[in-house]
């Protein structure tokens, strides 16, 4: 029985390391803890390598998401601050001065357009990530997509000239 206990605990030690690491990651998802690589080369060692690779990919995605949120919040803060400044200007002096009113409204509309563009870019990035995950080997007819984009722009900006 003693020999069986020693052998079982020796064979189960790597599994205990895996479960301990999973517990740490569950408590702190951004933890950099990884399972120590096993010295022998068997299925369990392969599982440890794959699990550590999965943790590395998850950490990479978490870091990307954090960077993205920081970039977006920084990019949106500027137009919001400009809009706020113009609205405060209008509230103080712009009601009675048509020149200030027109300038502030024009600048505010430009910043709203800029914010809409930033939001559209965020949506496009999100969709692009989903395409990579959901359709990694998909083939698309680029001519049809370009034609659709050009037609959309022609409707929005009929005074522009588009050439391929």
* Triad 31, 35, 39: Cα angle to 5°: 160
Instruction: Name the pTM for this structure.
Output: 0.53
Q: Helix or strand or coil: residue 107? A: helix
Residue/partner pairs of 59-62 with CB below 8 Å, 24 or more apart: 59/30, 59/32, 62/29, 62/30
Task: Assess whether pLDDT exceeds 70 at residue 135.
Answer: no
Q: Which of 69-73, 79-83, 93-97, 118-122 has the lowest mean pLDDT?
A: 93-97
Pick the CATH number of 7-156 from 3.90.1150.10, 1.10.287.70, 3.40.50.720, 1.10.287.130: 1.10.287.130
**Can you tell me the mean pLDDT for 128-134?**
61
* Average pLDDT taken over every residue of the chain: 82
Q: Give the residue, 99 or 93, on which the prediction is more confident.
A: 99
Cβ neighbourhood burial of 89 (10 Å; 0-12, 13-18, 19+): middle
For residue 129, the model assigns a pLDDT of 63
Query: Looking at residues 138-158, what average pLDDT do you find?
Result: 78
Mean pLDDT to the nearest integer, 2-28: 88
- The confidence score (pLDDT) of residue 134 equals 60
**The pLDDT of residue 85:** 83
DSSP 127-162: HHHHHHHH-TT----HHHHHHHHHHHHHHH-TTS--
Lowest mean pLDDT among 51-60, 77-86, 155-164: 155-164
């Amino acid at each position: 029985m003693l020999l069986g206990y020693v052998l079982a605990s020796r064979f189960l030690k790597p599994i205990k390391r895996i479960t301990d690491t999973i517990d740490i990651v569950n408590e702190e998802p951004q933890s950099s803890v990884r399972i120590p690589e096993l010295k022998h080369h068997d299925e369990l060692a392969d599982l440890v390598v794959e699990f550590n690779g999965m943790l590395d990919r998850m950490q990479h995605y978490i870091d990307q998401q954090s960077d993205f949120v920081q970039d977006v919040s920084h990019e949106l803060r500027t137009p919001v601050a400009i809009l706020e400044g113009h609205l405060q200007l209008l509230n103080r002096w712009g009601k009675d001065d048509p020149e200030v009113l027109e300038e502030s409204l024009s600048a505010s509309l430009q910043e709203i357009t800029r914010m809409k563009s930033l939001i559209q870019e965020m949506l496009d990035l999100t969709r692009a990530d989903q395409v990579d995950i959901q359709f990694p080997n998909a083939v698309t007819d680029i001519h049809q997509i370009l034609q659709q984009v050009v037609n959309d722009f022609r409707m929005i900006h009929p005074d522009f000239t588009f050439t391929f």
